[in-house]
Amino acid sequence: MQNRMMITGAGSGLGREIALRWAREGWRLALSDVSEPGLVETLKLVRAAGGDGFTQRCDVRDYSQLTAFAQACEEKLGGIDIIVNNAGVASGGFFSELSLEDWDWQIAINLMGVVKGCKAFLPLLEKSRGKIINIASMAALMQGPAMSNYNVAKAGVVALSESLLVELAQQEIGVHVVCPSFFQTNLLDSFRGPTPAMKAQVGKLLESSPISAADIADYIYQQVAQGQFMILPHEQGRMAWALKQKNPQLLYDEMTVMADKMRAKARQNLN
């Protein structure tokens, strides 16, 4: 039976909703997060939805914690069929404002956390001929202004996924990468940036989104079943990506205008 899934960042938001979507199909879930209270709540909801599993606190920056988590999956579930590298943090700020510490923090979690997750679980996936689902972002494809460290980390997740898609095909391991746009989530809880105004702007975008984390989880479920590699849950995101492929300069021009507007707004807030 292929019904064992591991999820990082499962204590809230999209990670929790992915757990619930697969739980409704009766899957057994290995849930990890840095928030233990969040994990307890997710497991309770998973059981109510018809699934089961276990929780283990795990910081994706620490490879030894991920290998211990993989070992726990082998001991408690007999292996793993799908891994979901979902743990992530938000950040923003113009390049000139971001410190090198901001860059290190962002890359360590959003990019290297995914690399380490794939590495730690690869032996189990080779046995089960399983699947990897990496959660990136539309930021990986569109590179909006005032979020260069986030853009770079998420673009790295897409590049890693493309590399694995090709390299792991022979072992019959499926690879998927998800690039959601803004959606209703608690991503701001982890937000790090040089200005409170930036956090407020991102908050408005998250709140105004018509799409929820549950909607995205459902879309991922359907697209993975269809074998789709690049999963773009937002219709606007799919349109923007098509536009960029056709006429990248047009998109760069739009982003430049957006950057100017953001700077003007930041100046207004200072005055």
pLDDT digits (tens, 9 = 90+) for 3-34: 999 999 999 999 999 999 999 999 999 999 99
Torsion angle defined by CA atoms of residues 20, 26, 29 and 31, in that order, rounded to the nearest 10 degrees? 20
- At 78, is the pLDDT very low, low, confident or very high (cuts 50, 70, 90)? very high
Q: What is the dihedral of CA 231, 236, 238, 244, to 10 degrees?
A: -130
Angle at 238 between CA 25 and CA 82, to 5 degrees: 30
- C-alpha to C-alpha distance for 3 and 30, rounded to whole angstroms: 11
Sign, CA dihedral 243-244-245-249, equals: positive
The predicted structure's pLDDT at residue 150: 95
Find the range with the poorest average confidence among 76-80, 151-155, 210-214. 210-214
Which pLDDT belongs to residue 209? Answer: 59
Is 22 within 8 Å of 4 (Cβ atoms)?
Answer: no
Q: Whole-angstrom Cα distance, residue 136 to residue 65?
A: 22
The whole-number pLDDT of residue 96 equals 95
**Mean pLDDT of the 98-127 span:** 97
202 has pLDDT over 80: no
DSSP per-residue codes, 176-231: EEE---S-B-SGGGG-B-S-HHHHHHHHHHHHT-S-BHHHHHHHHHHHHHTT-SEE
Determine whether 58 is exposed, middle or buried from the number of CB atoms within 10 Å of its CB (0-12, 13-18, 19+). buried
- The residue length of the chain stands at 271
Q: Is the pLDDT of residue 55 over 90?
A: yes
Catalytic status, residue 221: no
* pLDDT, averaged across the chain: 90
The domains found in the chain, sorted by start residue, are 2-235 (3.40.50.720)
pLDDT higher than 50, residue 187:
no
Q: Give residue 211's pLDDT.
A: 83
Give the chain's end-to-end CA distance (angstroms, integer). 62
pLDDT value, residue 204: 54
Average pLDDT, integer, range 256-271:
85
Q: What tens digit of pLDDT does each residue of 116-170 get?
A: 999 999 999 999 999 999 999 999 999 889 999 999 999 999 999 999 999 999 9
Dihedral pair phi/psi, residue 6, rounded to 5°: -110, 135
Tens of pLDDT, residues 222-247: 999 999 999 999 988 888 888 889 99
Torsion angle in degrees (nearest 10) through CA of 188, 209, 41, 119: -70
Output the CA torsion sign for 222, 179, 50, 74. Answer: positive
For residue 192, pLDDT over 60 is answered with no
Write down the pLDDT at residue 135. Answer: 98
pLDDT of residue 193: 56
Q: How many CA atoms lie within 13 A of 226 on its CB side?
A: 10
What does the pLDDT read at residue 91?
86
Whether residue 205 has pLDDT greater than 70: no
Query: What is the number of other CB atoms lying within 10 angstroms of the CB of residue 247?
Result: 11
Catalytic residue, from 150, 219, 221, 252: name it: 150
